[in-house]
Each structure stands twice: as structure tokens, then as C-alpha cells.
């Protein structure tokens, strides 16, 4: 009997496999998404109700609370479109519209994505380049760093039209001006992160290099750069999101005809809130995917660098 009194060991839940993925990864995300959707629907009812009451009153129609709430979900130009309206709009403009059409969200998304990626690559290169200069020269550290920081205090909305106009004047049009705005926003986190990373080696690791009479470039390639890699990836996650914001902002003041920014602008001209929100959701999804790609690259590099899993 006493042996039975010893309870079976508590069932230890596995931390790999499908059920673990469901429990550890899917469930927490799903709960939050669900909460957001519920909150969204509540806000749809609250925000759209006043206009709906007017509509009912104008039509001289009697209505109950249920009628009111249901009606708020499917207005043509709602203050806040409901999630299913946005999903339907996205479905219509991606799957049901050919990619070549000016109404295709895929087309507009690609326009924004291409300048985001160009801007991100340029921004990362510029950021790393500046960081290398700053770390290797005291003078540049003193002279460059204040400019790097103050560059980010200027509102991007104020400077974006000027960048576009100036570049247009010298004959640079199309993708590059928008990409440069992405660059402008994305180089900063990279510079700051990589400067920290390049300065992160411990004294003892630097002393070791000194005992080998290593040249500054050997110290850079064999010590400083590998030490900065984790910092670089963290910065790149911030930078790619900033690049997307930059690309969208770059499309706003220029009257661009294509891109998610242009969709936002057109939507607001014509009161097409469903179109605005579907562009917003598309931009958010795009940002999430981009960050996931950077994270995947980060994981691969870390695995190769022997970081404990």
C-alpha cells in the first residue's frame, strides 16, 4: 500500500514535438491575436454606432441593439472597418486581382518592399561602415557621433519631401529616393549597435591579440567583428522595421502613385478606410515576415558560431 502512496511522478510535458509547439508557440500567440480581434470588434461597434444611428434615423427605420451592432460591422465607409472587412479587402486585392493591376495589393506591396530592401541593405552597409570608422578613430568618434545622433532627432516627415525634391533635381528618381529615406532611418540602429559590438571584446581578449603582435586589421577581423555579430543582428531587426516605415513615409509626401504609402494616401483622400486598414495590415504582416527572416539568419549564424542552443 505504501508503494501506491508514492504518487506517480508528475507528468513532465515535452518541450519538443507538435504538442509542445502547440502549447509553447501557437497557443500564446493565438490567445493574443484572439484578444486583439475581440477588442477590435468591440471598438468597431462603439466607433461606428453614432453614424449608424444617423443612417437609421434618416431612413426612418426602427432598430434594436442587435440590429445596430450588426450594421456597424458592414458599413461602406466605416470610421473603423471590422476585421472581416479588412480580410475580405486584402483577399480581393491580392488573390482576386491580377498582380499587374494598379489595384493589386501585391503590386503595391512589392513597390514598397523593393525600396525597403534596397534602403535596408544600404543602411546596414552605411551603419557598419560608420561604426568601423568611429571605433578606429577617436577624432571620428568625437566628430561623427553627434551628427549620427542628431540626424535622428529631425522628424523624417519634415526631411523626406526635401530628400525627394533634391534628388529629383539631380536626376535621381523612382526607387532610390525612397530607398534613401529608408537608409536614413535604418543606418542609425546599426551604427549604434555595431559600435557597441565592436567595443565589446574583453580586455583579456585584446591583450591576447597584443601578445601575438596582431595588426589592427587582424584584431578587427578575428576579434572585434565576430564579437559584434550578435549586436549587428539585433540592430538589423530594428533597422528592417525602420526601413519599412521609411519606405512608406517616403511614398506619402511625394504623391507617389504606387506603394503601400500611396494606398494609404489614396484611401484617406477618398475616405476609403477599408483600403487604408488593409494597407496597414499588409504593412504590419510584411514587417513581421521581414523580422522573421532576419531572425532566421541570426539563428543560423549563431549556430555556426557555436552559441549554446
Partner 1 sequence: MAKVIPLETRSMTEARPTSRTSVIDISKLSLTFETTDGPVHALKDIDLAIGKGDFVSFIGPSGCGKTTLLRVIADLERQTAGSITVNGTTPEMARLNRAYGYVFQAPALYPWRTIARNVALPLEIMGLPKSEQDTRVRRNMELVNLQGFEKKFPWQLSGGMQQRASIARALAVEPDLLLMDEPFGALDEIVRDHLNEQLLKLWAKTEKTVVFVTHSIPEAVYLSTKIVVMSPRPGRIHDIVESNLPRGPRPLDIRETPEFLKIAHRVREGLRAGHSYDD
Query: 226-265 mask for partner 1 (x: CB under 8 A)?
Result: xx-x------------------------------------
The angle formed by the CA atoms of residues 199, 238 and 250, to the nearest 5 degrees, is 125
Task: Considering only the stretches 55-63, 144-152, 159-167, 299-307, report the one whose residues sit in contact with partner 1 under the rule CB under 8 A.
Answer: 299-307
Tell me if 308 contacts partner 1 by CB under 8 A: yes
3-state SS string for 33-66: HHHHHHHHHHHHHHHHHHHHHHHHHHHCCCCCHH
Give min distance, CB of 230 to partner 1, in A. 10
- Tell me the C-alpha distance between 175 and 177, whole Å: 6
Q: Residue 8 or residue 203: which is nearer to partner 1 going by CB? A: 203
Single residue of 92, 136, 199, 205 touching partner 1 by CB under 8 A = 205
Tell me if 209 contacts partner 1 by CB under 8 A: yes
Give min distance, CB of 190 to partner 1, in A. 20
- Tell me the C-alpha distance between 201 and 195, whole Å: 12
Tell me if 14 contacts partner 1 by CB under 8 A: no
Q: DSSP letter at 75?
A: -
CB within 8 Å of 37: residues ≥ 6 apart: 83
Single residue of 157, 257, 292, 305 touching partner 1 by CB under 8 A = 305
Give the SS3 label for residue 62. coil
Q: Which residues bind partner 1 (CB under 8 A)?
A: 202, 204-205, 207-214, 218, 222-223, 226-227, 229, 305-308
Amino acid at each position: 500500500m505504501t508503494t501506491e502512496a508514492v504518487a506517480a511522478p508528475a507528468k513532465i510535458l515535452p518541450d519538443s514535438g507538435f504538442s509542445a509547439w502547440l502549447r509553447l508557440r501557437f497557443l500564446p500567440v493565438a490567445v493574443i491575436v484572439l484578444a486583439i480581434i475581440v477588442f477590435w470588434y468591440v471598438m468597431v461597434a462603439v466607433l461606428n454606432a453614432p453614424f449608424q444611428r444617423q443612417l437609421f434615423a434618416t431612413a426612418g427605420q426602427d432598430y434594436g441593439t442587435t440590429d445596430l451592432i450588426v450594421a456597424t460591422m458592414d458599413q461602406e465607409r466605416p470610421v473603423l472597418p471590422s476585421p472581416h472587412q479588412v480580410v475580405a479587402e486584402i483577399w480581393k486585392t491580392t488573390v482576386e486581382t491580377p498582380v499587374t493591376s494598379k489595384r493589386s495589393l501585391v503590386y503595391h506591396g512589392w513597390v514598397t518592399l523593393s525600396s525597403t530592401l534596397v534602403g535596408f541593405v544600404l543602411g546596414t552597409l552605411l551603419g557598419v561602415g560608420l561604426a568601423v570608422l568611429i571605433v578606429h578613430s577617436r577624432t571620428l568618434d568625437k566628430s561623427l557621433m553627434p551628427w549620427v545622433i542628431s540626424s535622428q532627432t529631425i522628424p523624417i516627415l519634415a526631411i523626406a519631401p526635401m530628400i525627394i525634391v533634391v534628388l529629383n533635381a539631380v536626376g535621381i528618381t523612382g526607387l532610390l529616393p525612397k530607398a534613401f529615406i529608408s537608409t536614413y532611418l535604418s543606418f542609425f540602429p546599426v551604427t549604434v549597435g555595431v559600435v557597441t559590438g565592436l567595443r565589446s571584446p574583453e580586455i583579456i581578449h585584446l591583450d591576447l591579440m597584443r601578445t601575438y603582435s596582431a595588426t589592427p586589421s587582424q584584431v578587427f577581423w578575428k576579434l572585434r567583428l565576430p564579437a559584434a555579430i550578435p549586436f549587428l543582428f539585433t540592430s538589423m531587426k530594428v533597422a528592417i522595421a525602420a526601413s519599412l516605415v521609411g519606405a512608406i513615409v517616403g511614398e506619402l509626401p511625394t504623391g507617389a502613385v504606387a506603394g503601400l504609402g500611396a494606398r494609404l494616401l489614396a484611401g484617406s483622400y477618398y475616405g476609403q478606410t477599408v483600403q487604408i486598414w488593409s494597407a496597414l495590415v499588409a504593412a504590419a504582416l510584411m514587417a513581421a515576415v521581414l523580422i522573421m527572416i532576419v531572425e532566421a539568419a541570426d539563428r543560423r549564424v549563431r549556430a555556426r558560431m557555436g552559441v549554446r542552443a
